[in-house]
C-alpha cells in the first residue's frame, strides 16, 4: 500500500521545485471556468431588480431583504456545510456539482414566483447552494496547489468576480426582451458548471487533510492575534466590496441618466461589467502576482487605500462626464478586489494547521455577515443625502482594515523569518 502511494505521488511528480502538482494548471482552468459560470447566480436577480420590484410590488423593507437575501443564504449554508464537514466527508467535486445543479433549479424557479415572499425565499436558498460552490472550489484548488497558492487563488477570485458580474453582461443582450431570459441564461451557465466539474474535472492526486468546523477550535482562532488581525482586515474589505458590486450599477444608471437621458441601457450594462468584472478579474491576477513579491500585508494596504479613495471620489462624478465616472469605477473595480484572495492566504499561512479550516470558515462567514449591513445601508444614505455622498460610508471599512494590516505586518515578517 505504501509503495502504491509512492508510485502515485511519483506519477504526479511535483514540478517547479516542489511547488506545483502536474496537471494543476489544467485543473485550475476547469475550476475557474466552473466558478465563473456558477457565480452568475449571485446577481442574476439583482440586474433585473426594477422589473422584479414592480412585479412583486416590493416595499422598501422588502427591497432590503431582497438585496441581502443571497448573502444571508450564503452565510447560513457556509456555517452548515463547515460545521458538518460536508466538503471533507464527501467528494468535493460532487458537492460542487450538486450545489450548482440545485442553484440553477432554484434560480430558474424565480420565473414562476408570484410574490415577494416566494422570490426572497428562493434567493436565500440560492445563496445556500452557493456556499457549496465558492468554498468548495477553494478546497479543490488547495488540493491541486498545496504550496504557493497566491496566483492560483487570485485567478480563482478573478473567475468569481467575472462570474458575479456576468449578469450585467447578459442583460445587454436581453435588455429589450423579457427579464426571464436573464434568469434562464444564468441557470444554463450554472448547469454547464455542474457538468464540467462532475464530468471533465479530475480529482486531485493528493488529498488535503482538513478538520471540520468546531466551536471548540474556534476559541483558538479568536485567541490567535495575527489571525484575527488578518480577519479584521478582511472584514473591512468585505464592508466595501459587495456593497460596491451591488449598488455601483444603479449609481451608474442614475448618473448617466442625469447627464443624458438618451444613454442606451446597454451602455450602463457594459460599463458595469467592465468596471466590476473585467477590471476586477485583472485586479485579482495582478494582486496574486504582486503579493508574492511585496508580501500579503503590503498588497492589502495599497489596495484598500486606493479603493477607499475611489469610494470617496466616485460621488463627485455623479451626473458629470461619463468617461470620468467609468475611469474611477475601473480603478475602484481593480483595487477593491485585488487584495481579496490575500486575506485568506494570510490566514492559511499563519494559523496553526489544526484549525486552518475553521479559521478560514470563520473569516468567510463573518465577512459575508458584514456585507448584509453595508449593502442595506447604501440605499438609506442615498435616500437621505443623494448618490453624491452614498458611497462615503464604504471608505470606513478599508481604512480600518488598513490600520489592522499595518499591525499584522510584524507577524507576517516573523512568519517569513521562521
What average pLDDT is seen over the chain? 83
Is 123's pLDDT higher than 60? yes
- From 67, 60, 35, select the one nearest 376 (Cα to Cα): 67
Is 2's pLDDT higher than 50? no
- Round to whole Å and give the CA distance between 29 and 21: 14
Are 229 and 404 in contact, with CB atoms under 8 Å apart? yes
| CATH number 1.20.1250.20 given to 22-204 | yes
Inter-helix orientation angle 134-144/24-38, to 10°: 170
State whether residue 21 is helix, strand or coil. strand
Q: What is the predicted pLDDT for the residue at 90?
A: 76
- Round to whole Å and give the CA distance between 324 and 84: 49
Is 15's pLDDT higher than 50? no
Predicted confidence band of residue 1 (pLDDT cuts 50, 70, 90):
very low
Q: What is the predicted pLDDT for the residue at 418?
A: 44
Are 14 and 159 in contact, with CB atoms under 8 Å apart? no
Higher-scoring residue by pLDDT: 10, 389 = 389
Q: What is the predicted pLDDT for the residue at 298?
A: 92
Q: Name, in order, each residue with C-beta under 8 angstroms of 365's C-beta and a sequence gap of 6 or more.
A: 75, 78, 79, 82
Do the domains at 22-204 and 213-418 have one common CATH topology? Answer: yes
Tell me the domain boundaries of the chain. 22-204, 213-418
| pTM confidence score | 0.79
Q: What is the predicted pLDDT for the residue at 292?
A: 75
**Tens of pLDDT along 68-98?**
889 899 989 888 877 776 766 778 889 899 9
Is 184's pLDDT higher than 80? yes
Backbone φ, ψ for residue 315 (5° rounding)? -65, -30
**Tens of pLDDT along 201-247?**
888 776 655 555 566 677 788 888 888 999 999 999 999 998 998 89
Q: 213-418 adopts what CATH topology?
A: Growth Hormone; Chain: A; (1.20.1250)
**Tens of pLDDT along 293-302?**
888 889 999 9
Give CA 194 to chain center in angstroms: 19
Amino acid at each position: 500500500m505504501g509503495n502504491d502511494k509512492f508510485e502515485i505521488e511519483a506519477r504526479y511528480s511535483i514540478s517547479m521545485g516542489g511547488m506545483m502538482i502536474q496537471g494543476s494548471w489544467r485543473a485550475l482552468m476547469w475550476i475557474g471556468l466552473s466558478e465563473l459560470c456558477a457565480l452568475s447566480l449571485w446577481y442574476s436577480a439583482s440586474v433585473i431588480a426594477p422589473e422584479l420590484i414592480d412585479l412583486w410590488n416590493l416595499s422598501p423593507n422588502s427591497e432590503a431583504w431582497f438585496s441581502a437575501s443571497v448573502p444571508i443564504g450564503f452565510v447560513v449554508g457556509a456555517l452548515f456545510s463547515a460545521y458538518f464537514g460536508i466538503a471533507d466527508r464527501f467528494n468535493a467535486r460532487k458537492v460542487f456539482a450538486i450545489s450548482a445543479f440545485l442553484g440553477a433549479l432554484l434560480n430558474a424557479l424565480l420565473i414562476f414566483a408570484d410574490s415577494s415572499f416566494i422570490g426572497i425565499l428562493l434567493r436565500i436558498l440560492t445563496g445556500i447552494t452557493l456556499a457549496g460552490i465558492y468554498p468548495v472550489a477553494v478546497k479543490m484548488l488547495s488540493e491541486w496547489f498545496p504550496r504557493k497558492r497566491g496566483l492560483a487563488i487570485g485567478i480563482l477570485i478573478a473567475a468569481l468576480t467575472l462570474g458575479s458580474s456576468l449578469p450585467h453582461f447578459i442583460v445587454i443582450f436581453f435588455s429589450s426582451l423579457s427579464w426571464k431570459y436573464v434568469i434562464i441564461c444564468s441557470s444554463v451557465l450554472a448547469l454547464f458548471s455542474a457538468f464540467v466539474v462532475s464530468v471533465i474535472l479530475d480529482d486531485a492526486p493528493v488529498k488535503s487533510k482538513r478538520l471540520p468546523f468546531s466551536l471548540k477550535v474556534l476559541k483558538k482562532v479568536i485567541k490567535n492575534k495575527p489571525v484575527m488581525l488578518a480577519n479584521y482586515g478582511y472584514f473591512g474589505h468585505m464592508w466595501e466590496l459587495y456593497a460596491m458590486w451591488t449598488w455601483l450599477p444603479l449609481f451608474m444608471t442614475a448618473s448617466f441618466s442625469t447627464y443624458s437621458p438618451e444613454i442606451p441601457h446597454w451602455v450602463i450594462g457594459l460599463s458595469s461589467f467592465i468596471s466590476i468584472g473585467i477590471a476586477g478579474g485583472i485586479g485579482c491576477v495582478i494582486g496574486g502576482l504582486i503579493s508574492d513579491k511585496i508580501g500579503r500585508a503590503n498588497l492589502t494596504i495599497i489596495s484598500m487605500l486606493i479603493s477607499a479613495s475611489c469610494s470617496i471620489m466616485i460621488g463627485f462624478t455623479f451626473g458629470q462626464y461619463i468617461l470620468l465616472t467609468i475611469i474611477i469605477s475601473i480603478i475602484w473595480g481593480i483595487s477593491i478586489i485585488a487584495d481579496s484572495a490575500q486575506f485568506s492566504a494570510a490566514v492559511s499561512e499563519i494559523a496553526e494547521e489544526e484549525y486552518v479550516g475553521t479559521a478560514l470558515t470563520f473569516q468567510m462567514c463573518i465577512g459575508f455577515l458584514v456585507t448584509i449591513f453595508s449593502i442595506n445601508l447604501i440605499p438609506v444614505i442615498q435616500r437621505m443625502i443623494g448618490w453624491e455622498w452614498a458611497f462615503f460610508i464604504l471608505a470606513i471599512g478599508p481604512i480600518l482594515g488598513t490600520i489592522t494590516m499595518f499591525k499584522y505586518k510584524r507577524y507576517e515578517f516573523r512568519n517569513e523569518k521562521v
